[in-house]
Amino acid sequence: MTAVAERVESSAKTRITHKVFLVRELGILVALVLLIGITAITNPRFLSAQSVKDLLLGSTILAILATGQAIVVITRNVDLSVGSVLGLSAFLTGTLFLDHPGLPIPVVVLAGAALGAVCGAVNGALIAAARVPALVVTLGTLYVFRGIDYQWAKGKQINAADIPAAFLHLGTRTVLGVPVLTVFAVVVVLCAGYFLKSYRSGRELYAIGSDPTAARLSGIAVGRRVFAAFVASGALAGLAGVLYVARFGTLDANAGNGQELNVVAAVVVGGVAIFGGSGSVYGAALGAMLLTTIGSALPVLGTTPFWQRASVGALILAAIGLDRALSVRVAKQLGGAK
């Protein structure tokens, strides 16, 4: 096969894959718009300025966590420790403000993200170097990190009065009607999406998720890339912990408890294949937005808590089924593109 023919084939495969991504993300967006529209018709106050602001704030932290989780899941792994990392970072943030009142806010933000990166490095080292399954490692570190958080807090609660007003204003301030925290989330998602699409190291994560053995044989440093993916997930979970403090002010050792399940749900609903190799952080962020909207809209529509949880479970199953159907279709199209 000539070099020109290879480039044409590669271009055809890229277009097919890009179409699949668009189908997934547009489907999530349509579902989100329909849900908001139906709820607004039932109760017009659902689209009031304050309700929209609360909805955006509610999805901000989940979207940041889902972005980091998507990077990991693309490599055919999973990080179940993100909720505990968020809790550790949140308590570090509160403690720094409490013990060092004059500490600059950027320094605290960097400290929170750095702690998260260290936790991610622990996960990545155990998974990449020792080759222990990610599910086992991160399930263990979920409890280890939470235990450290409990030991550190020792039942202590940090109140909003202990946090600088300038930092708490980040949780309430808006830019052109958009909450500042949401702007943080948008920047994170755009940067992560650009990296995955435009940089070779980002594209290699997809190759690892598609076939780790083939990626290793082709010269990709699989262990190093997987390690970096977990560090990125940990750093974003740490950043989410810092923003958690800005939004809620009051916190204890239970901050982020159980959040990991919502994060995985957002990623799967957002079209990131649970077996790796496909999906995008944009879809994961939309999935976070959709789940947050479901949590706010269904009570307005008079749905019982049971059906609220059941609907999320049904969405996850539907997303997995759709992912399987699309994978089969893409395989056939790629076969025809040869």
Mean of per-residue pLDDT scores for the chain: 84
Which residue range(s) make up the domain with 122? 24-32+48-337
The answer for residues whose C-beta is within 8 angstroms of residue 294's C-beta and 6 or more apart is 35, 308, 311, 312, 315
282: domain CATH number is 1.10.3470
Q: Would you state the structure tokens that stand for residue 57, as one six-digit string?
A: 């704030």
- What is the per-residue pLDDT across 160-198, written as a single tens digit (0 to 9) for each? 888 888 898 888 888 888 899 999 999 999 999 999 989
Q: Would you state the structure tokens that stand for residue 107, as one six-digit string?
A: 């320094």
User: In this structure, is residue 140 part of a structural domain?
Assistant: yes
User: In this structure, is residue 265 part of a structural domain?
Assistant: yes
User: In this structure, is residue 18 part of a structural domain?
Assistant: no
User: In this structure, is residue 143 part of a structural domain?
Assistant: yes
User: In this structure, is residue 9 part of a structural domain?
Assistant: no
User: In this structure, is residue 12 part of a structural domain?
Assistant: no
Q: Please compute the mean of the pLDDT values over residues 216-227 and round it to a whole number.
A: 90
User: In this structure, is residue 78 part of a structural domain?
Assistant: yes
The listed range with the strongest mean pLDDT (112-121, 251-260, 283-292) is 112-121
Domain count, the chain: 1
CA 83 to chain centre: 11
User: In this structure, is residue 38 part of a structural domain?
Assistant: no
- Report the C-alpha gap between 80 and 324 in whole angstroms: 23
- What is the per-residue pLDDT across 59-91, written as a single tens digit (0 to 9) for each? 999 999 999 999 999 999 999 999 999 999 999
> Can you give the pLDDT at residue 279?
84
- What is the per-residue pLDDT across 26-62, written as a single tens digit (0 to 9) for each? 778 888 888 888 888 888 888 888 888 888 888 999 9
SS3 174: strand
